[in-house]
Amino acid sequence: MSFYAHETAVIDQGCEIGEGTKIWHFSHVMPNCKIGLKCNIGQNVVVSPDVILGNNVKVQNNVSIYSGVTCEDDVFLGPSMVFTNVTNPRSGVNRRGQFSKTTVKKGASIGANATIVCGHDIGEFAFIGAGAVVTKDVASYALLVGNPARQIGWMSEYGHRLEFDASGIALCPESKIKYQLVNNKVIKL
């Protein structure tokens, strides 16, 4: 076996799990999931059928990733955050097969206890603050907080808030990478 699964983890048939991935205590990976290389699936995580996780995805404890979700490479899912997959759930109405899709693009981070309402994509390197409730698509590099989530700024690929000068240029203090803000979109220079 090229991945590690704790003895209390349950991994159903038909899953593809990449080399170097670790699946911890009491987690359940349901049928036909695809989990990439070097992922870390924390304690008490549910990965529902047909979910796709790219390489180096970090899933913290108590996260539910429901059918219809795809996370690209280098995504961070904070403790107890949750995705939904039906916009109008009712206990007495079966809506299997009507799941709305959500894609979390490369490098995005979703904070602890955040909720991502289905059908809304999260852009590359976006940063969703703890407890935020996302009810619309999120632009790449955007920083969102609150309920409902609202954009309050922009983040670098290293997770630092970007401060743009009068000419629309910002410098990440850690990586020294420059970014430009043009027409309400961030471009890495």
The domain spans of the chain are 1-155, 163-189
Question: Regarding the domain with residue range 1-155, which homologous superfamily does it belong to in the CATH classification?
Answer: Hexapeptide repeat proteins (2.160.10.10)
* Strand-pair category, 178-182 with 185-188: antiparallel
What are φ and ψ of residue 28, in 5° steps?
-130, 115
Identify the band that residue 87 occupies on the pLDDT scale cut at 50, 70 and 90: confident
**Has residue 24 got a pLDDT over 70?**
yes
Give the number of other Cβ atoms within 10 Å of residue 11's Cβ.
Answer: 18
Residues 106-131: tens digit of each pLDDT = 999 999 999 999 999 999 999 999 99
Which pTM does this prediction carry?
0.95
Residues 129-144: tens digit of each pLDDT = 999 999 999 999 999 9
> Within 13 Å of residue 68, how many CA atoms lie on the same side as its CB?
21
Provide the phi-psi class of 40: left if phi over 0, else alpha when psi is between -120 and 50, else beta: beta
Distances (CA, A) of 148 to 115, 116, 119, 183, 186: 10, 10, 15, 24, 23
